[in-house]
Amino acid sequence: MSVFFSYILLGLSLAAPIGPVNAAQIDRGIKNGFLHAWLVGVGAVVADGIYMLIVYFGVVQFIDTPMIKTFLWLFGAFVLIYTGIESLFSAGQIQSRKNRDQHEHPFRAFLSGFLMSLTNPLTILFWLGIFGSVLAKTASIYEKSELILYSAAIFIGLLVWDVVMATVASSFRKLLTTRLLILISFLSGLSLIGFGIYFGIQGIKLLLSF
């Protein structure tokens, strides 16, 4: 049981560092409440699951090629910068939305988190590196059923963090003043643009190295 909980903690440690998904969750939670913030995280977890399966079935050579990595850096930059700019323009609408129903379709929040995680090469590096080594070690010690169980524990950790972030972000919406909410949303948008610029620079560097 202690091993199981250690894998849950691994999932939590993966999700906890501030990154594009967390910034997007804060922004969605402030503007549209718990459900939208939670769905951003769920989308990211689904993308993580895809990469976990890729590593599990040993087809990492495909996504580890320079061409695929370049595409992911550049497309990821587009997704993040677009989302960040959209966040900046919609920050001023918090006043009118604070006491209204959600205006964004929930699937859009899910898709946003999914694309952010799917096109994040840093996510890929984790699943290829850390999870790849964890998988190899676990496979050498435990049976296949236990391997699936411990992989599921990682996802439990990811989903727990998702709920925590969605709760915090939606609590901001209820507890903070409109001016502070606009400021936090504005900073989240700038953060997304910053991550997008970084992704773009890395993609261009990789493109020029061909």
Q: For the segment 69-127, what is each residue's pLDDT rounded down to a tens digit?
A: 888 889 989 998 998 898 888 876 665 455 444 567 899 999 999 999 988 877 777 77
Q: How far apart are CA 71 and CA 141, in angstroms?
A: 37
CA 157 to chain centre: 13
Residues 192 and 120 sit within 8 Å (Cβ to Cβ): no
Query: pLDDT for 129-156, tens place per residue?
Result: 666 666 666 666 767 777 788 788 888 9
pTM: 0.81
Total domain count, the chain:
1
Structural domain for 55, as ranges: 2-11+19-208
Q: How far apart are CA 185 and CA 192, in angstroms?
A: 11
Average pLDDT, the chain: 82
